[in-house]
Amino acid sequence: MSTNPFHAPPPSDRDTLAQPPDHKSQWVRFNTARRYATNHLITGLAVLSTVLVIVPLVAILIYLIYMGASSLNLDFFTKIPAPVGETGGGMANAIVGSGIVLALASLIGVPVGIAAGVYLAEFGRGKLLAGAIRFTADVLNGVPSIVMGISIYALIVKPQQHFSAFAGGVALAVMMVPTIARTTEEMLATVPHAIREAALGLGVPKWRTVLSVSLKTASPGIITGCMLAFARVAGETAPLLFTAFGNQFWSFKLTEPIAALPLQIYVYAVSPYDEWHRLAWAGSLVLIVMIMVAVTLVRIYASRGVLKGAS
Amino acid sequence: MPPAVTNFVAEAAAAPEGAPSPIRQFLNARGSGGTADGVFKGVMLLCGLSIFGIVLFIFTILTVNSKLSLKQFGFHFFVHSGWDPVSGDFGALPFIVGTLETSLLALAMAVPLAMGVAIFLSELCPAKLRTPISFVTELLAAIPSVVYGLWAVFVLVPLMRDSLGPLLFKYLGWTHLFDGYNFGVGILTASIILAIMILPIISSITRDIMLAVPTSQREAVLALGATRWEMIRTGVLRNARIGIVGAVILGLGRALGETMAVTMVIGNHPEIAKSLFAPGYTLASVIANEFAEASGDLYLSALIEIGLALFLVTVVVNAIARALVWAVTRGAPARTI
């Protein structure tokens, strides 16, 4: 066998790896194993935590739907609450009351919210003022709803000396404005500039362009954004506690205390009567279905990524 | 008699203010003048400014209405722990402690899980699963507080009283955190329901922030031979850490102000207790519970002052959180609830 180094075959990668490892490569190998083990461990933990979160949450959702569905009947939609001790009864007055309060809230909150969104998207691009408004709207979104409740109480209920549906509507309207403004802005931002330019190029004035081109193009998204805000405030209890106050009977006047679905659920949930608990479950189901519809529609209309996490 | 003019430019220049040209008249009639645009912009701006107006209004009206209590107690209100409406002795310390205790406990439970969910959703999840899971998360974030409260009253409270509570006492009793009688309602139950409520919010915002990290960052780290976790740690988490802190603080803000569900399960007792089983009280729940029956101006004004404190704290917390989240997502901010 020649010892001539030129005759020896060149060492391949496989050969080097097959060599008995020196100290350093053993460490490298150990390190690689450790890195892969960490990788698998973390992946496992992430999957585990997702399962730990999603399964109970879905279980809660299913439980709510199940309890609601088993307590819901036609009486719920047609009758007013029965006196304590009697079975039956429904939440018809609370549903109508919620409808009245929400209609008033939408009447005030939706136009103002959309207009604020139009300012942010169409007039305020890149302006400091618009940035400040945007920021304030996001901060306002995080202000607890009970604070809105006591503010409106101090503004309307206290001077008038009585609770009223009107005060409840205003409280909810104030909560709708920042949400609607932000969704409208984001929806308008998805309208291509070329469409606006085409309208302006034809000599259409700016206000007309905004109303019949930008808003019209973005309208499905804006409508669903409004629905989402609507569904959100429909479930709000805290701002209504000291404004609409609740009512066990029919009431259609804006100047009187009025029943509302979330209020009724709260009162019934903390009451000691089984019959009332049943009605509370049924009421929750109505609220949940409303929110499910709104969230689903938003997902259908909004392009992915625009309304993520909006709720 | 005016001289006959044939030059249109001169005519336009010399036209009296009272008589605009027919074209101008036509345009104005269609609303194409500068006035209509100016009015429209003004109205939109006014509605935009209404958002500032709301914040100012809340601050002003709460300050004015809590003047009585602000004057009588001063700063002492926030460090004093008496709450006796009958003798007119008011201090907000038990509520502040209760709020911080429940919120921080809820964060401690929710944040690790939310991070896991966000990592799974943004980095590991098969594309087929991503949409349904994020849909469910959104749905759960939108369920009203009172419905979670209802669930907690009828499911979580009995669970806590009969199985979870005794288990905790048996294995963690040595910490003395679980002493005293276990009613089912209390600080711990409120923290758990809060954790359940803020989990979807924190995880969906964190996911948005992680998705905002450019893919090239991930590819670069992977190309250097990193494992997936190393890629997530160095390429994603390190870039997104400011925004993730923001998401957590946003969850904190939500937990601080959460009212109905907490009111229904915390037990409503104004006392600072060492045990997590003990009933407590939070800033929001004392308002919800006692405001309607507050008799006397001082009582009412003390409750409104608590509301003012809650407002200021949540505004500061949310402003910090938003600024952090915006720093990462840059103009495409994650939205919340």
Chain A and chain B share a number of CB contacts under 8 A equal to 320
- Which chain A residue's Cα is nearest to B284? A146
Kindly tell me if the per-residue pLDDT of B248 is higher than 70.
yes
Instruction: Specify the pLDDT at position B170.
Output: 84
Question: What sign does the CA torsion over B90, B96, B97, B102 have?
Answer: positive
The answer to whether residue A311 is domain-embedded is: no
Q: Is the separation of the CB atoms in A189 and A305 below 8 Å?
A: no
Q: Give A6 to chain B, closest Cα distance, Å.
A: 35
Q: Give B184 to chain A, closest Cα distance, Å.
A: 14
The larger pLDDT score, comparing residue B94 to residue A15, is at B94
In a shared domain, residues A202 and A297: yes
Query: What angle is formed at CA A95 by the lines to CA A92 and CA A98, rounded to 5 degrees?
Result: 145
Query: Do the Cβ atoms of B120 and A46 come within 8 Å?
Result: yes
Partners of residue B146 in chain A, C-beta under 8 Å: 235, 237, 262, 265-266, 269, 284
Query: Do the Cβ atoms of B117 and A150 come within 8 Å?
Result: no
In a shared domain, residues A29 and A116: no
Could you tell me the CATH number of the domain that includes residue A220?
A: 1.10.3720.10
Q: Is the separation of the CB atoms in A295 and A232 below 8 Å?
A: no
Residue A116 CA to residue A130 CA, distance in Å, equals: 10
Residue B149 CA to residue B22 CA, distance in Å, equals: 67
Query: Do the Cβ atoms of A310 and B36 come within 8 Å?
Result: no
In a shared domain, residues A275 and A147: yes
Place of tokens 């209404």: B50
Instruction: Specify the pLDDT at position A243.
Output: 87
A121's tokens: 């998207």
The answer to whether residue A4 is domain-embedded is: no
- What mean pLDDT is predicted for residues B226-244? 89
Alpha helices (H) along chain B = 8-14, 22-29, 34-65, 67-73, 93-119, 127-142, 145-151, 157-159, 165-172, 187-211, 215-223, 228-230, 238-257, 260-265, 283-290, 297-329
Nearest Cα to A148, choosing from B61, B150, B70? B61
Per-residue pLDDT of chain A (311 residues; tens, 9 = 90+): 445 555 555 555 555 555 555 666 788 888 889 999 999 999 999 999 999 888 888 888 899 889 888 888 888 888 888 777 777 778 888 888 998 999 999 999 999 999 999 999 999 888 899 999 999 999 998 899 999 999 999 999 888 888 899 999 999 999 999 999 998 998 898 888 888 999 999 888 889 899 988 998 888 888 878 888 888 888 899 999 888 888 888 888 888 888 899 999 998 888 888 888 888 999 999 888 888 887 787 777 655 434 333 33
pLDDT digits (tens, 9 = 90+) for B146-159: 999 999 999 999 99
Q: What's the predicted TM-score (pTM) here? A: 0.84
Q: Is the separation of the CB atoms in A243 and A168 below 8 Å?
A: yes
Query: Do the Cβ atoms of B64 and A288 come within 8 Å?
Result: no
Q: Give A93 to chain B, closest Cα distance, Å.
A: 19
Residue B57 CA to residue B63 CA, distance in Å, equals: 10
Instruction: Specify the pLDDT at position A310.
Output: 36
Considering only the beta carbons, identify the residue of A64, A119, A133 that sits closest to B52: A133
Q: Print the domain residue range for A278.
A: 75-301
Place of tokens 């939205």: B335
Boundary-marking domain end, from A71, A93, A119:
A71
In a shared domain, residues A104 and A235: yes
- Which chain B residue's Cα is nearest to A184? B48
The answer to whether residue A8 is domain-embedded is: no
Query: Do the Cβ atoms of A309 and B311 come within 8 Å?
Result: no
Each residue of B215-242: b (16+ CB within 10 Å) or e? eebbeebeeeebbbbbbbbbbbbebbee
Residue A176 CA to residue A115 CA, distance in Å, equals: 13
Give residues with Cβ within 8 angstroms of A239, minimum separation 6: A145, A146, A148, A149, A152, A168, A171, A172, A175
In a shared domain, residues A23 and A134: no
Each residue of A232-244: b (16+ CB within 10 Å) or e? bbbbbbbbbbbbb
Considering only the beta carbons, identify the residue of A57, A113, A234 that sits closest to B136: A57
Query: Do the Cβ atoms of A142 and B314 come within 8 Å?
Result: yes
Instruction: Specify the pLDDT at position A57.
Output: 82
Q: Is the separation of the CB atoms in A33 and A241 below 8 Å?
A: no
Partners of residue A238 in chain B, C-beta under 8 Å: 145, 259-260, 284, 288
Query: Do the Cβ atoms of A206 and B113 come within 8 Å?
Result: no
Q: What is the mean pLDDT of chain B?
A: 85
pLDDT digits (tens, 9 = 90+) for B33-68: 778 888 999 999 999 999 999 999 999 999 999 998
Alpha helices (H) along A5-127 = 13-18, 23-71, 74-78, 92-118
Instruction: Specify the pLDDT at position A247.
Output: 82
DSSP state of A88: -
Is residue A258 classed as helix, strand or coil in its secondary structure? strand
Q: Give A176 to chain B, closest Cα distance, Å.
A: 11
Instruction: Specify the pLDDT at position A305.
Output: 39
Instruction: Specify the pLDDT at position B10.
Output: 55
Considering only the beta carbons, identify the residue of A49, A120, A208 that sits closest to B113: A49
Q: Give B90 to chain A, closest Cα distance, Å.
A: 19
Give residues with Cβ within 8 angstroms of A77, minimum separation 6: A90, A91, A92, A95
CB atoms within 10 A of CB B7: 9
Q: Give A112 to chain B, closest Cα distance, Å.
A: 5
Residue B37 CA to residue B82 CA, distance in Å, equals: 59
Q: Is the separation of the CB atoms in B95 and B306 below 8 Å?
A: yes
In a shared domain, residues A165 and A294: yes
Half-sphere exposure of B46 (CA within 13 A, CB side): 8
Considering only the beta carbons, identify the residue of B33, B291, B335 that sits closest to A308: B335
Boundary-marking domain end, from A22, A38, A71:
A71
In a shared domain, residues A163 and A295: yes
Fold of B68-329: MetI-like fold (1.10.3720)
Query: Do the Cβ atoms of A237 and B144 come within 8 Å?
Result: yes
pLDDT digits (tens, 9 = 90+) for B189-215: 999 999 999 999 899 889 888 888 888
Query: Do the Cβ atoms of A284 and B62 come within 8 Å?
Result: no
Give residues with Cβ within 8 angstroms of A211, minimum separation 6: none
Give residues with Cβ within 8 angstroms of B124, minimum separation 6: A43, A46, A47, B228
In a shared domain, residues A137 and A57: no
Is residue B164 classed as helix, strand or coil in its secondary structure? helix
Residue B317 — pLDDT band, cuts 50, 70, 90?
very high
In a shared domain, residues A237 and A155: yes
Is residue B276 classed as helix, strand or coil in its secondary structure? coil
The answer to whether residue A47 is domain-embedded is: yes
Instruction: Specify the pLDDT at position A9.
Output: 55
Q: Give A8 to chain B, closest Cα distance, Å.
A: 32
The answer to whether residue A6 is domain-embedded is: no
- Which chain A residue's Cα is nearest to B48? A116
Instruction: Specify the pLDDT at position A20.
Output: 56
Instruction: Specify the pLDDT at position B97.
Output: 92
The larger pLDDT score, comparing residue B12 to residue B146, is at B146
The answer to whether residue A211 is domain-embedded is: yes
* Single-letter amino acid code for the residue at B325: V
Residue B20 — pLDDT band, cuts 50, 70, 90?
confident
The answer to whether residue A2 is domain-embedded is: no
Boundary-marking domain end, from A71, A93, A112:
A71
Considering only the beta carbons, identify the residue of A135, A147, A266 that sits closest to B307: A147
In a shared domain, residues A106 and A54: no
Partners of residue B203 in chain A, C-beta under 8 Å: 53
The answer to whether residue A3 is domain-embedded is: no
What backbone torsions phi and psi does residue B275 show, to the nearest 5 degrees? -80, 145
Partners of residue B256 in chain A, C-beta under 8 Å: 144
Domain total for chain A? 2
| Chain-centroid distance, C-alpha B133 | 22
Kindly tell me if the per-residue pLDDT of B218 is higher than 80.
yes
Nearest Cα to A241, choosing from A179, A306, A152? A152
In a shared domain, residues A215 and A188: yes
In a shared domain, residues A167 and A271: yes
